[in-house]
Amino acid sequence: MDDVWKVLAGNLAAVALIVSIWTHLSYRFYQLPPKLRCAGLGVTMGLAAIASMLLSVRFDVGVIFDLRLAIIESAAVFGGPGAALITAIMAAGFRFYLGGAGVAPGLTAIAIVFVLGSSLWFFAGKKPMNNAPSILSAAVLAGCLSIAVLALLPQADFQRAVDQVGLPIVVLNFATTAAIGFFLAYFRRFTLERDILHAALTQAPDYHYVKDLEHRFVVANLNVARHNGRARSSEMVGLTDYDLAPRERAEQLMAAEADVLRTGQALDHFEEFLIEDGKPPRWYSTSKVPLRNRQGDMVGLAGVTVDITEKKLLEQELRSSRNIMAQAMAEMSDGLAMFGPDGKIVFCNEQYRALFPKSAYARKDSAHITDIVRATVRNGERQNLPIDLDEEDIQAAAKTLFVDKDEVIPMADGRWLALRTRVTEDQHVLALVSDITAMKESELSLKSFAERMKGLAETDALTGLANRRSFDERLQREFEVAKQTGRPLSVLLIDVDRFKAYNDRYGHLAGDGCLKSVAGAIAAAARRSGDITARFGGEEFAVLLPNTDSDTAIAIGDKIRTSIRELGMLHEGSEYGLVTASLGATVFTRDSRLANPTELVARADLALYQAKDAGRDRVGFQRLADERVKKPA
């Protein structure tokens, strides 16, 4: 009995080794298509079954006991019928090769386990069992099957087999299935976590990278690769700054990184102005943090560099604009006040007091800034200083006097004041105040007007939907996103059936009303965030559905079709007696061979004509295959 346990335990170890090798290989060859990965798992399990038979327990002449049944069931419930079929064929072929009296019962047992394991796969929803209860259930089934198939032996051998190897066979088959299941489940979770982390790093915006202790790139996102003249992120792995930058620049970068690794202190938002060969001058902000493993040992550093050129240019423009405005106000009769180092008013003009009528009594010579702030708060003169401000906040607000600043103050009476304070070398403070209410109102009015004009430029005047130009721009953007991310992109084209006949019979004003109603029905049916509804031209409409597969696109299309029919608009020139619409749908996926979004719209147009040709008032769908579909006349 001890020998049986030892042999089967060694058997289990061999199986575990083979499965472990497969998981590591599958992680390396992650780009293989699913069918090849399934076949690979099946071959691996087949090899494990062969190894199990080579290390089997010899029960009688031509009769052996091993763990092949657990392996076949594992291939089925954790890999699917395809993998199980390959495993079963390999196991059956080798068992037939071994020969002996146990060939027929062995092959029968393999067939039974394959059928039951595949059935369990379908029962579990055609996906691998990943949680503990389902894995243990599969393991229990393996244990039960291992003892049940002993009944295939002659009656005299059955009882003897149960007595001699029954318990080890049950326990080791249970353990084998559980071990394979938990290992594969763990590896799937591990792979998913690694993939998510890798995708988050490599696909993030800005410039993200990770380096080891030797300052070599371990991971870099696509932005870093392209910035350094590489086409793929993988081309950055193993390079250092000496490979990418002039020697002097590389030494500066490595010295900064060496300080981070030596001190363990992060480099936070370090700003640089760089002029690189063949590139326009840019501003960058860089942060680098040391990385430690679970034991606390330094293993490398992570960095992120942000291009802040636009921000710097905006800041320069803002400073320039404020300087010009301040100079202009200095030449006008605006409010002017001088405060001494002790925070008391040295001088102020009447215009300064007039700009603050509710606290003018406190704005006098020798008045302290704290008393002025208290009066302002008590009278509710400024919107940004609530009347319930406590003494601590009042003191804090008073201290901001001794800070160079340009501030726009919203007043409670609706005015806007511009406050400019400058601290001199002897700690005096000059405060210049101007009423910029008209300017602020003009600015807000201009912004509002610009927003209205933008809306008019992107909107169809009749229907209120997006116009053709807006739709084409959004389609181009979403097409590029779909190509880069692999997410599906669906397009619907909608044509009002027999619309010319409707116009001829009811007139153009009624036709316009019909189009407005149809547009409302389309917009109401396609209301998801990100969906774009547009008037494509004439009586044609289009709907852009980002991150939407074919089934969902067809469902949305049918909802739109139904909504238009349910408007119940009479149309005596239509075969249906009502206003209806035909729709064409198509979807762009990772595998689609399209060069530009125009071809995608052309496919939707083909689907639309197919719907019309099939009797109208329906949704046609065009798959993006290689074959060419002839457009109906």
d(C-alpha 304, C-alpha 286), whole Å: 6
Q: What type of residue is 62?
A: G
Q: Which residues pair with 588 in a beta bridge?
A: 489
Residue-level length of the chain: 633
Give the H or E element holding residue 435.
Answer: strand 429-435
- Name the E strands within 525-625: 532-537, 540-546, 581-588, 619-622
Q: Is residue 539 flagged as an active site residue?
A: yes
Chain mean position to CA 247: 38
Q: Using an 8 Å Cβ cutoff, are 285 and 269 in contact?
A: yes
Between helix 103-123 and helix 81-98 the angle, nearest 10°, is: 170
| Among the listed residues 39, 23, 36, the one whose alpha carbon sits nearest the alpha carbon of residue 81 | 39
| Among the listed residues 465, 490, 493, the one whose alpha carbon sits nearest the alpha carbon of residue 619 | 493
CA distances from 447 to 185, 383, 444, 623 (A): 56, 22, 5, 45
For residue 550, which phi and psi values (nearest 5 degrees)? -65, -40
CA distances from 35 to 7, 70, 81, 84 (A): 34, 23, 12, 13
Q: What type of residue is 393?
A: D
The residue whose two tokens read 């996103």 is: 481
d(C-alpha 538, C-alpha 164), whole Å: 84
- Choosing from 391, 458, 539, 566, which is the catalytic residue? 539
Give the H or E element holding residue 72.
Answer: helix 68-79
For residue 586, which phi and psi values (nearest 5 degrees)? -150, 165
SS3 193: helix
Q: Using an 8 Å Cβ cutoff, are 220 and 178 in contact?
A: no
| Among the listed residues 511, 504, 545, the one whose alpha carbon sits nearest the alpha carbon of residue 527 | 545
* Buried-exposed string 17-55: b where 16+ CB fall within 10 A, e elsewhere: ebbeebbeebeeeeeeeeeebbbbbbbbbbbbbbbbbeb
* Buried-exposed string 515-552: b where 16+ CB fall within 10 A, e elsewhere: bebbbbbbbebbeeeebbbbbbeebbbbbbbbebebee
The residues, any chain, with a CB within 8 Å of residue 120's CB and separated by 6 or more, are 73, 76, 77, 138, 141
For residue 596, which phi and psi values (nearest 5 degrees)? -155, 165
Q: Using an 8 Å Cβ cutoff, are 201 and 170 in contact?
A: no
**Residues with a known catalytic role:** 539
